[in-house]
Amino acid sequence: MNNPLLILIADPNPFVRSFLARELSAQGYSTVEAGSGKEILAQLYLKTLPDLLVMELDFPVSVGLMVLEKVQNLVPTVPQIIYTHFTEYENHPSVRKADDFIEKNEDPSDLLHSISEVTRMYKANTLRMKD
Amino acid sequence: MARWRSPGISTRIFINLFMLLCATFAIGLTSIWYSVQFNAMLNQVIEKDMEALQASREMETELASQKGFVTYYFLDGDPKWLNELSVHRRSFMKWFQQAVEVDQNPEHRILLEQIHETYKRYIADKDKVIALYQTGDRKAGEALHWKVREKFFELNDICLRYKQANELNMQQVRDESHSRLQRISVVVVIFMSTALVLGVLLVFFMFTQVLIPIRQLSQKTAMDDEINSSGNEVRVLSNHVRGLMENMDRARSELEQSQAMLVNSEKMALVGKLATEVAHSIRNPMTSINMRLFSLKRNLELTDFQKEDFEVVSAEMRRLDNIVSNFLEFSKPHKLKKQQINISRVIDMTLDLLCYRLELHSVSVVRKQSADLPPIEADPELLKEVFVNLMVNACEAMEDGGEIVIREEAAFVENIGWAVLVKVSDNGPGMSEEVRTRVLEPFETTKANGTGLGLFIAVRIVEEHGGTLELHSKEDEGTTFIMTFPAAGGQ
């Protein structure tokens, strides 16, 4: 992969972020991290636009759902995977708009599988649009 | 008008009644006063004036009776005429004395004085005539006799005047008494009309201000036949007012109860919210730990001891995760997923769940099922929670083991109708009066590590199913929980 996918890992817990970054890097992805709603938006506005967003909803300051809605309005082309404890939000309208919903547990394999699925679909779509 | 309206209805009626009483009293007092006066006046007339009148009449008669005897004596010389004359003279003097005694009228006394003087002279002259006749001097006697006649007429005239004066006096007394009577009549009539007007006013007030409003009120509050049957609006009304007061008392105590409940549930809600936040905050770092353990396990080469340690840490982490997840699952606002179930099946499932724990506490379970138990509309998961709560409580109460009896039966219950009753009894130590009253309240616990929520949640769940949970317990006699659920379809 000459041009690795850039994944934004958004989670309030730095240790979770670093773990996920390590796991994703091991799979050949490059990662950036955001620990708050503000950092997510800063990354999207000011820094390199990621190819994919992995997001926990449980943010202490800005409510996760609000941030998610903002992200969806701002960069609708960036695929979003919700990776959270908050299973009760699975059927929330904004959450349903996201590309996938994964319940967070210790084993990241579900997440990795979902990332490859979502990127594959996006690639296929982009190719179709180019055709 | 406004000033007249200002006094209260009772004041107005009281004033009216007071005036009515005053008028009646006035009538009575006036009548008594006048009759006493009238009586006194009549007594006076009877005792004095009547005697005087009679005396004056008798005097005139007696005087007239004295006439002629001397002439008869002159004609035949019989002394019996003189005797008769002296009888009438004594009689005249008697009546004269009586008139002097009773008649105090000054004008009458002057007349009486005149009568006395004239009579004395008349008698003296007449005696002279008699003496002349007796001596035989008929000529001189006859001449004096004519003079005496004139004196007689003079005397007779005075007596007549005295009699007329007495009669006039009587007439005056009669006139006076008549006018007094008329005055009494006028006063009595005035007071009686006043009393009549006041009485009519009182009746008017009673009707417009009391009776009609009471009737209207009682008609508003009561059925028609109720009034007709008792015929007493006031009784009907007072019954209704008493009913209202009882309702109000009941409503107030219910309000107080529900206020206490509200305070409790607000406290519950707040604590629940805080606990949920805490659980969420705990879960995040726990996931982080689990992730790292997962990573470690993947990469580490461990000795057997290290592997055992690692497994214990992982197992305990999973346990913690379970606890938090269960709590969060419970704290989620749930909807009742009601379905028709047989409660025996729910109890079976609960006992399956708890078999290990029952064994641990050396508790045996006795089922007393009844055939044909109607189904109920309920959420089996929530009911399981209730039974788990009750059974765990019972196990913990019976420290040295014991027996739990679960009795199921159908019965007709007031306010619910056909119902399914489940009685869970243990033969543990029971509860004291004080504990029993508190144990169904939230955050009340007798256990060192209890949350004080188990029974409260159980009550809440049963009530959400339209049922009731009662607690019967006595110290040293065990505890019985009685749950009542309405039968499905009201069968």
> CATH code at A112?
3.40.50.2300
Residue B299 in contact with partner chain A when CB distance is under 8 A? no
Partners of residue B481 on adjacent β-strands: B424, B471
How far apart CA B479 and CA B374 sit, in angstroms, is: 26
Residue among A58, A106, A107 whose CB faces B280 most closely? A58
Residue B259 lies in a domain: yes
Partners of residue A12 in chain B, C-beta under 8 Å: 284
State the pLDDT at residue B45: 67
State the pLDDT at residue B57: 87
Residue B228 in contact with partner chain A when CB distance is under 8 A? no
Which tens digits make up the pLDDT trace of B151-176?
A: 888 888 888 888 888 888 888 878 88
Residue A1 lies in a domain: no
Chain A residue with Cα closest to B289: A106
Residue A42 lies in a domain: yes
Q: Quick one: pLDDT band at residue A3, thresholds 50, 70, 90?
A: confident
0.80 exceeded by pTM: no
Residue B285 in contact with partner chain A when CB distance is under 8 A? yes
Partners of residue B482 on adjacent β-strands: B423, B470
State the pLDDT at residue A18: 93
Per DSSP, helices labelled H in B206-232 are 212-221, 224-230
How many A×B Cβ pairs under 8 Å? 37
Residue B229 lies in a domain: no
Same domain, B349 and B451: yes
Q: Based on the structure, what is the number of domains in chain A?
A: 1
Partners of residue A6 on adjacent β-strands: A30
Same domain, B321 and B343: no
Same domain, B323 and B270: yes
Q: Based on the structure, what is the number of domains in chain B?
A: 3
Examine the pLDDT at B27 and tell me if it is beyond 70: yes
* B9 or B377: which leads in pLDDT: B377
Q: Which of B281, B284, B317, B330 would you mutate first to test chain A, the one with the most A CBs within 10 A? A: B284
ipTM value for the complex: 0.84
A104 and B290: CB-CB below 8 Å? no
Owning domain of residue A46: 6-130
Residue B225 lies in a domain: no
Distances (CA, A) of B186 to B40, B172, B180, B182: 21, 21, 10, 6
Residue A30 lies in a domain: yes
Residue B366 lies in a domain: yes
H/E run at residue B377:
strand B376-378
Task: Work out the mean pLDDT of chain A and round it to a whole number.
Answer: 85
Same domain, B400 and B318: no
Residue A19 lies in a domain: yes
Residue among A19, A58, A85 whose CB faces B295 most closely? A19
Owning domain of residue B446: 337-490
Q: Quick one: pLDDT band at residue B76, thresholds 50, 70, 90?
A: confident
Tokens representing B368 are 């007393």
Same domain, B367 and B291: no
Chain B residue with Cα closest to A88: B332
CATH code, domain carrying B154: 1.20.120.1730
Question: B405 — phi, psi (to 5°)?
Answer: -105, 125
Examine the pLDDT at B121 and tell me if it is beyond 70: yes
B284 and A107: CB-CB below 8 Å? no
Please, which residues have CB within 8 angstroms of residue B63's CB and are 6 or more apart in sequence? B92, B152, B155, B156, B159
Of A37, A39, A100, A92, nearest to A63 by C-alpha is A37
Q: What's the average model confidence in pLDDT over B99-110?
A: 84
Examine the pLDDT at B201 and tell me if it is beyond 50: yes
Is the CA virtual torsion B206, B208, B210, B212 positive or negative?
Answer: positive
Examine the pLDDT at B315 and tell me if it is beyond 80: yes
Tokens representing B484 are 């009542």
Partners of residue A23 in chain B, C-beta under 8 Å: 295
Residue B318 in contact with partner chain A when CB distance is under 8 A? no
How far apart CA B112 and CA B155 sit, in angstroms, is: 11
Q: Tally the C-alpha atoms within 13 A of residue B255's C-alpha that lie toward its C-beta.
A: 6
Residue B333 in contact with partner chain A when CB distance is under 8 A? no
Examine the pLDDT at A21 and tell me if it is beyond 90: yes
Which tens digits make up the pLDDT trace of B264-284?
A: 888 878 887 888 888 888 888
Same domain, B325 and B407: no
Same domain, B101 and B138: yes
DSSP B327-351: HHHHHS------EEE-HHHHHHHHH
Which tens digits make up the pLDDT trace of A42-75?
A: 888 888 888 899 998 888 765 788 888 888 888 8
